[in-house]
Amino acid sequence: MGVMPHTDVSRALEVAMSMDVPFWPQLPNYSYHEDMYVQASEHFPGIILDLDKRTLRFSMDRFAVELEETFSHFDDPHYFDISETYSAVYHRFLAMDLKDRPAIRGQLEGPISFGFNILDQNERPIIFNDTVRPFMFDFMSRRLNIQLERLKQLNDNAFMFVDEPGLQFLFSAMAGYGDIEAKVEMEQFFSVLERPRGVHLCGNPDWDFLLNMDLDVLSLDVYTNAEIFSSYAGSIRKFLDRGGIIVWGIVPTGFETFALENVPSLISRLEAVWDALCSKGIDRERLIAQGMLSPATCCLVNPDREKTVENAFASVNRMAEMLRDRFNIS
């Protein structure tokens, strides 16, 4: 949910700070540098960034030339942080006093989604390149860890989302990257991320695989995927048993869908998911105690620009207040 349609940095940060757990927004409409894929690409060898055309490509020839320079900075963790050029918003967030918040959150595009999205000179996703892919996993883990380190300087309960919309495509039929290899590399990648480590995605991945990975937080679009997600009660129970937190993305941010709902109807939708899981033996108090609320997805294309998105965030706060009252949560 880090991507927002705003072009006003101050206003976007005001909305983000209105939440119990604030975050730094990604604002691609403000600047192409603020695009989540562009931010993840900073210092990645072989990247060709065209700000005028708003394109991000990859050259294997450039990768070979630039790789040595990148390796020379591997002992400098700040090389892997997001610079002010690539996010004015992030650095505004870092300058805030956030120590009294219950937690704060950061995010970065994950290697699977980055690898699917970035195409080489042959129009082939770089995730299929056996030379580039191992480097990409290492590179992204360093980027995620340095951001979490920066955020923990502001708040002891800081945590990160690895944004991975591409996970829903990971185990489909893909030439050149098999299921077994993908699972091994993903598990190894998450094992080197500092805790707390979480995943955010809006799609419908292999939930068994994701819920059984060693994660602390899982954020999903339950508004769209409620029925299929609740069918994985066994894996959800194991995830909760390990102390995992589920972020229930329940408030839609699309103009037409949001207009069909209100706070009571969204609470009913969420409680229907909880009812389904409780009927399969999961304790309701645990679902509530180890849960957070959020918008269901990002949205950049509403006809009212920022208005619906801001209303969605406000609805999350109203839902949280009503649920706290209903379940006597302090």
Of all helices (H) and strands (E), which one includes residue 50? strand 47-50
Determine the residue type at 102: P
In whole angstroms, what separates CA 242 from the centre of its chain? Answer: 21
Tokens 């918008």, residue located: 295
Helix, strand, or coil here: 256? helix
Give CA–CA dist 128/101, Å, rounded.
Answer: 41
pTM for this entry: 0.95
- Would you say the C-alpha torsion 110, 113, 116, 119 has a positive or negative sign? negative
Alpha-carbon dihedral 99, 103, 104, 109, rounded to 10 degrees: 150
Per domain, the residue ranges of the chain are 9-44+72-327
User: Are 237 and 279 a contacting pair, CB within 8 Å?
Assistant: no
Query: How does strand 197-201 pair with strand 159-163?
Result: parallel
Which alpha helices (H) appear in the chain, and where do they start and end?
9-17, 36-41, 60-71, 88-94, 111-117, 132-152, 179-191, 207-211, 222-230, 233-241, 255-259, 263-278, 284-289, 307-327
Mind listing the pLDDT tens digit of every residue in the chain (330 residues)? Answer: 799 999 999 999 999 999 999 999 999 999 999 999 999 999 999 999 999 999 999 999 999 999 999 999 999 999 999 999 999 999 999 999 999 999 999 999 999 999 999 999 999 999 999 999 999 999 999 999 999 999 999 999 999 999 998 888 776 656 567 677 888 899 999 999 999 999 999 888 889 999 999 999 999 999 999 999 999 999 999 999 999 999 999 999 999 999 999 999 999 999 999 999 999 999 999 999 999 999 999 999 999 999 999 999 999 999 999 999 999 887
In this prediction, residue 330 carries a pLDDT of 76
Determine the residue type at 146: I
Give CA–CA dist 3/201, Å, rounded.
Answer: 12
Determine the residue type at 287: L
In this prediction, residue 170 carries a pLDDT of 75
Residues facing residue 201 across a β-bridge? 220
In this prediction, residue 176 carries a pLDDT of 63
Q: Quick one: DSSP state of residue 83?
A: P
**Structure tokens of 34?**
């603020």
Residues facing residue 248 across a β-bridge? 220, 293
User: Are 36 and 28 a contacting pair, CB within 8 Å?
Assistant: yes
In this prediction, residue 173 carries a pLDDT of 54
Helix, strand, or coil here: 263? helix
User: Are 131 and 163 a contacting pair, CB within 8 Å?
Assistant: no
In whole angstroms, what separates CA 285 from the centre of its chain? Answer: 26
Give CA–CA dist 36/15, Å, rounded.
Answer: 19
Q: Quick one: DSSP state of residue 162?
A: E
Q: Does domain 9-44+72-327 have CATH number 3.30.43?
A: no
Helix, strand, or coil here: 120? coil
Of all helices (H) and strands (E), which one includes residue 248? strand 245-251
Tokens 């923990």, residue located: 152
Tell me the helices (H) and strands (E) count for the chain, helix number first.
Answer: 14, 8
Helix, strand, or coil here: 21? coil
In this prediction, residue 171 carries a pLDDT of 67
User: Are 33 and 51 a contacting pair, CB within 8 Å?
Assistant: yes
Give CA–CA dist 36/163, Å, rounded.
Answer: 9
